[in-house]
C-alpha cells in the first residue's frame, strides 16, 4: 500500500522550497558548468494549480544553457479542464512547436505537468525527443497525495473513478522515447513511489534531495534537467552525477527505488 507524505513534510514544503531557492543562488556558478544545449525547443509544463510564472526561473536557466525554452501558454494547469479531455490542446502545442522548429521537442513537466507530458509523449512519440518529469505522480495510487481534495475540486476529476484509476495504473509503463523521472523520498505533496516508472534502456528514475515545491528551483534538479536534455539524439545514456555535482545527490545505491 502506498501512503501519502507525512503531515510534517507537507507543512515544511514552503520553508524547504525557500531554502532550495537560496541554494540555487549560492550554486549558480557551479550550475553554469552543466552541459550546454544544442538549441532545440524545450516545452516546460507547470504543476497543478500553477501557471507559467511558476516555471520562470527554470526556463531562464534552460535558456542560459542554450535551449529554446518555451512556456506552455495554456494558463492555469487544471488537468483536463486546461489541456482537453484527451490532452488535445497540449498535443497541438507540441505539434506547433515541431512545425516551427523542424526538430523534435523535449518536454519538462513539474508535478501534474509531468503526468501530462508523459501522456503527450505516448500520443505523439515521433514529435518528442525526451521527457523529464519532476515529482510527477504518474503511477500507483493517485489518492496517496496531500492535496487530493483540492485536486478534485479544481480539476473536476474524481480520484476513485475508474477512469482516473486506469490512467494511473498504466502511467508507470515505459515510454517509447527517452525519459527521466526525477523524484524525492522527502516529497511533501506526492508519494514518491507514485513518481517512478518502469526502467529500461531509455527510461530511468533519478532520486534527488528536494521538496515538491522546490523541484523547479533546486540546484540538483536543474543540473539533472540540463544533463538529460543534452543527451544526443540516438545516443541516450543513463544519468550519472559527475564528481563536481556528486554532493548534491543521494548515494548511487539510492538511485534505484525499492518496490
pLDDT digits (tens, 9 = 90+) for 118-129: 999 999 999 999
pLDDT of 258 reads: 36
Mean pLDDT of 229-253: 87
Mean pLDDT of 193-214: 97
CA distance 77 to 89: 12
Whether 247 is in a domain gets the answer no
In sequence order, what are the residues at sequence separation of 6 or more whose Cβ sits closer than 8 angstroms to the Cβ of residue 194?
2, 137, 138, 139, 140, 141, 142, 144, 145, 168
Mean pLDDT of 201-213: 97
Whether 177 is in a domain gets the answer yes
CA distance 186 to 178: 25
Whether 48 is in a domain gets the answer yes
pTM above 0.85, yes or no: yes
Contact 148, 190 (CB under 8 A): no
Whether 251 is in a domain gets the answer no
For the chain, the domain total comes to 1
pLDDT of 106 reads: 98
Whether 199 is in a domain gets the answer yes
pLDDT of 91 reads: 97
- pLDDT surpasses 90 at 52: yes
Contact 138, 115 (CB under 8 A): yes
Whether 66 is in a domain gets the answer yes
Q: Indicate the average pLDDT of the chain.
A: 94
- Closest to 73 (Cα-Cα) out of 44, 48, 102, 49: 44
- Which range of residues forms the domain containing residue 131? 7-229
Whether 105 is in a domain gets the answer yes
- CATH number of the domain residue 124 falls in: 3.40.50.1820
In sequence order, what are the residues at sequence separation of 6 or more whose Cβ sits closer than 8 angstroms to the Cβ of residue 208?
182, 183, 184, 218, 220, 221, 224, 248, 249, 250
How are strands ordered across the β-sheet holding 41-45? Answer: 68-71, 41-45, 105-110, 128-134, 179-183, 203-207
Whether 235 is in a domain gets the answer no
Amino acid at each position: 500500500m502506498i501512503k501519502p507524505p507525512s503531515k510534517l513534510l507537507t507543512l515544511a514544503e514552503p520553508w524547504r522550497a525557500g531554502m532550495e531557492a537560496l541554494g540555487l543562488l549560492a550554486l549558480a556558478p557551479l550550475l553554469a558548468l552543466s552541459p550546454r544545449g544544442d538549441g532545440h525547443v524545450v516545452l516546460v509544463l507547470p504543476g497543478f494549480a500553477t501557471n507559467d510564472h511558476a516555471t520562470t526561473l527554470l526556463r531562464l536557466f534552460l535558456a542560459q544553457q542554450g535551449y529554446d525554452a518555451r512556456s506552455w501558454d495554456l494558463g492555469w494547469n487544471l488537468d483536463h479542464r486546461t489541456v482537453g479531455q484527451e490532452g488535445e490542446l497540449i498535443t497541438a502545442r507540441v505539434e506547433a512547436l515541431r512545425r516551427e522548429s523542424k526538430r523534435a521537442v523535449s518536454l519538462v513537466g513539474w508535478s501534474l505537468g509531468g503526468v501530462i507530458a508523459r501522456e503527450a509523449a505516448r500520443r505523439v512519440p515521433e514529435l518528442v525527443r525526451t521527457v523529464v518529469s519532476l515529482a510527477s505522480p504518474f503511477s500507483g495510487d493517485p489518492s496517496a497525495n496531500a492535496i487530493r481534495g483540492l485536486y478534485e475540486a479544481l480539476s473536476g476529476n474524481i480520484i476513485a473513478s475508474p477512469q482516473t484509476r486506469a490512467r494511473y495504473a498504466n502511467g508507470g509503463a515505459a515510454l517509447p522515447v527517452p525519459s527521466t523521472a526525477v523524484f524525492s523520498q522527502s516529497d511533501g505533496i506526492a508519494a514518491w513511489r507514485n513518481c517512478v516508472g518502469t526502467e529500461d534502456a531509455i527510461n530511468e528514475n533519478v532520486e534527488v534531495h528536494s521538496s515538491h515545491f522546490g523541484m523547479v528551483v533546486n540546484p540538483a534538479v536543474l543540473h539533472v534537467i540540463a544533463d538529460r536534455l543534452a543527451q544526443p539524439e540516438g545516443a541516450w545514456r543513463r544519468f550519472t552525477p559527475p564528481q563536481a555535482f556528486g554532493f548534491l545527490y543521494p548515494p548511487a545505491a539510492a538511485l534505484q527505488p525499492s518496490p
